[in-house]
Chain A
Amino acid sequence: MEEKDIIKELQNGNSDAYRRIIDEYQPFLLNCCFRFVHSREIARDITQDVFVEVYKSIGKFRADSSLKTWLYRIAITKSLDYLKAAKRKKRFGYVKSIFGFDEDDMNIPTLGSAPFEQVENEERIKILSDAIDSLPENQKAAFTLNKYSGLSYKEIADILGTSVSSVESLIFRGKANLKKKLFNYYKRHI
């Protein structure tokens, strides 16, 4: 079945067509969301939201881009929206903690008796995730899609609605910013 036929079936509300795109695109979208939000559970929820959004908006989809590109766009938008909301919540939690209210989310999880390497790697993951999250949105999206979703510059350009040269520049600046942030972090902590 060609993509335009699948889109037509999706627009007609054919559940087999939905099953088909869920089976085909779930792994890519799940991985994409996971690389943004760094949580498997949240990535699963966002992936589900992506398909619900497809159901709601497929009538407006004019196939200017491929279905895959459109799905990635929705996934990235939803992931970035989640991160923004999480940041707001964190800020609010901080304010609450200043005024003496307890915030469960702010409790640091105990690592138990995990081996030193594991603890060290978890620490590094946290530092890197925070540094990626602090990048400007377009640099974060381009860098993450390239490094962790393995998409080509052309695919990223289509998803972000920009040119290949812009994507190259975004990735270059993203990497440079990331190195700078990490360098400054270790400069303060070593």
Chain B
Amino acid sequence: METEKIIEEEVNKTLSALDGIPSPASDPFLFERFNERISRGENKKIRLPQAGRLKPVALALIILINIITAIVFLSGKENGAVKEQLVSSLRSDYDSNQIDY
């Protein structure tokens, strides 16, 4: 019972521990700091519409890369016989259970 009373007292004291803490003083240079950050960030803002304009160019570039890749891939099919031979020789190497170090 006595312990509970002591605990209650401690709880009440602790609950009011933050009451007397004063608010922090305002930063007199906050506007200047804010302005500096904004002017650094403004470059990004200017770039945004340009980035929008570049979207079709980027899309065209991606399509072009895809077309080139497809052409290269299809032209590579002519060497299919050679590739197949290589694959089958590799497969036979792996399939053989021979351990030869």
List A residues at the B interface (Cβ < 8 Å): 15, 18-19, 22-23, 26-27, 30-31, 34-35, 40, 43-44, 47-48, 51-52, 55, 121, 124-125, 127-129, 148, 178-179, 182-183, 186-187, 190
A-B Cβ contacts below 8 A, count? 78
The residue that B7 contacts in the complex, of A48, A128, A186, with Cβ under 8 A, is A186
Q: A162 to nearest B CB, angstroms? A: 24
Cβ-defined contact, B23 with A48, below 8 A: no
List B residues at the A interface (Cβ < 8 Å): 3, 6-8, 10-11, 13-15, 17-18, 21, 23-24, 26-27, 30-31, 33-35, 37-38, 41
Given contacts A48-B37, A125-B21, A190-B6, contact A182 B30 (CB under 8 A): no
Q: Return the chain A residue nearest B13 by Cβ.
A: A124
Given contact pairs A51-B30, A52-B41, A55-B34, enumerate 4 new A-B contacts (beta carbons under 8 Å).
Answer: A121-B17, A128-B14, A128-B15, A129-B18
Cβ-defined contact, A187 with B7, below 8 A: yes
Q: A149 to nearest B CB, angstroms? A: 9
Cβ-defined contact, B23 with A34, below 8 A: yes
Cβ-defined contact, B23 with A27, below 8 A: yes
